[in-house]
Amino acid sequence: MIDASTRTTPFTALAAEPRGLKGVVVADTAVGDVRGAEGFYHYRQYSAIDLAEQRPIEDVWQLMIDGALPTTAAQREAFAAEVRPLRAIPPTVAAVLRVIAQVSEPLDGLRTALSLAAAGRGMRPNIDIDAAQRRADALFLCAITPTLLCALHRLRRGLEPVEPRDDLGYAAGYLWMLTGDEPAPAHADALEHYLISTIDHGFNASTFTARVVASTGADLGACVVAAIGALSGPWHGGAPSRALALLDEIATPDRIDAVVRPLIESGDKIMGFGHAVYRTDDPRSVMLRDVALRLVAGRPVDDPQRRLVTFAVGTEERVVALLDELKPGRRLRTNVEFYAGVVMQLCGVPAEMFTPTFASSRVIGWCANVLEQAADNKIIRPSARYVGAPPPAVVPAYAG
């Protein structure tokens, strides 16, 4: 425990916290948690993996925002009826979406479009509105995100946006808006597993960003737009396509050692391996490997998709062995990103949409965290230790 009273002493030999605040508890939360040592994480009181296996994402969305799972058709329908009309792109945003799509990757485009949509909705600072209004703002941002992402993707490729459909579930509807084709149920189910499993995950950098912004009393839009920026960083959400790119680079099983060993030896991070919190298998990775294997089960051995999954599983085994050999004691395992790319590729999500698709589910977690922060807030304002040249120096004269 830190004695806060000593921390305001300026310019002395203060010890900085562990770099990156790693392991430092910055707040209390009832949204969920990650138990790194156990390879377990949960949303509210439920295992996230159990939820992914047993519930549609709409139920988990309701759990995250309202705190309870629906258990009756009436509860489920009430939530769906609230959310359905919020998915349409507002006219103001539609008017400029083509320009945004022209110059922006989909995730950066989402950042711009959501920023505009929030302003267009007239969102007011969280501290000036009640919990019901904050909840409505949160549902709006969560509902419009998949629509915007798919429209941005299509416009960028010269295709017209596809409208959301009321008769499809969330993941099927996502693939519909993305491709314009009704997806195979197995693909919708696989993607839904991925989406549910990525809704929340402790105080990762984007969730923490959302909470810091929320702590200033800013509106939901400001919080989510900021979080999107954090997610766009390659060290956070930007890696699923890089993990798949590693598989592409390795290309064949006999090349694993030749490609990966030098990377490890030179100290490079291996995309798709290692995690800030897990010291054992990442439960998302374990589930997504199963999801991938189920998708290709029963197909011929030379089916390209089956070959991709087999290759990925083989690569995982070999790379983990190499990491154990070259980084003994670190226990580096596949993280969520390794199989996320595989599953999304199998479902027909193009690589440029991997991180945006992650944003589509994570926005629910961001909003749940912002709502919690807004309900019991204190501004997050840490300190730094100054290590530059000692002040005050005389301002040098300008010689003109």
Amino acid at 115: S
Q: Which is nearer to its own copies, 299 or 385 (CB)?
A: 385
Report in angstroms how near the CB of residue 63 gets to its own copies at its nearest: 10
Distance of CA 153 to the CA centre of its chain: 18
Kindly calculate the radius of gyration of the chain based on its CA atoms and give it in whole angstroms: 23
Active site residue 337: yes
Q: Are 200 and 44 in contact (CB under 8 A)?
A: no
Among residues 192, 316, 337, 372, which one is catalytic? 337
| Nearest one of 358, 381, 398 to 197, comparing CA atoms | 358
171, 238, 164: which is closest to 205 by C-alpha?
Answer: 238
Tokens of 382: 């840490």
We find the least distance from the C-beta atom of residue 205 to its own copies, in angstroms, to be: 5
How many Å apart are CA 237 and CA 150, to the nearest integer?
A: 18
Spatial CA neighbour of 127 closest among 388, 377, 390, 391: 377
Question: What's the Cα-to-Cα distance from 297 to each of 26, 46, 52, 267, rounded to whole Å?
Answer: 44, 29, 20, 37
Q: Confirm if 148 and 114 have CB atoms less than 8 A apart.
A: yes
Q: How far apart are CA 196 and CA 189, in angstroms?
A: 11
Cβ closest to its own copies, residue 228 vs residue 291: 228
In the complex, minimum distance from the CB of residue 385 to its own copies, in angstroms, rounded to a whole number? 5
Q: What is the DSSP letter of 127?
A: G
Is 236 in the active site? no
Contacts of 24 (CB under 8 A, 6+ apart): 17, 18
Least distance (Å) between residue 305 CB and its own copies: 30
Answer yes or no: are the C-beta atoms of 210 and 275 closer than 8 Å: no
Q: Which of 42, 275, 316, 372 is catalytic?
A: 275
Q: Which two tokens stand for residue 45?
A: 């009181």
Chain center to CA of 272: 14
Q: Give the dihedral of Cα atoms 48, 38, 295, 51; nearest 10 deg.
A: -10
For 262, 322, 324, the CA distances from 255, given in Å and listed in that order, are: 12, 13, 18
Q: Which is nearer to its own copies, 298 or 396 (CB)?
A: 396
Q: Which is nearer to its own copies, 132 or 387 (CB)?
A: 387
Shortest distance (Å) from residue 330 CB to its own copies? 14
Least CB distance to its own copies at residue 19 (A):
5
Cis status of the peptide bond prior to 146, with omega within 30 of 0? no
CB 389, min distance to its own copies, A: 4
Nearest to 189 by CA among 282, 285, 46, 295: 295
What one-character-per-residue DSSP string does 307-374 give?
HHHHHHHHHHHHHHHHHHHHSTTS---B-HHHHHHHHHHHTT--GGGHHHHHHHHHHHHHHHHHHHHH
Name the one residue in this structure whose structure tokens are 């009321």: 166
Closest approach, Cβ 134 to its own copies, in A, equals: 14
User: Which residues does the annotation mark as catalytic?
Assistant: 275, 337
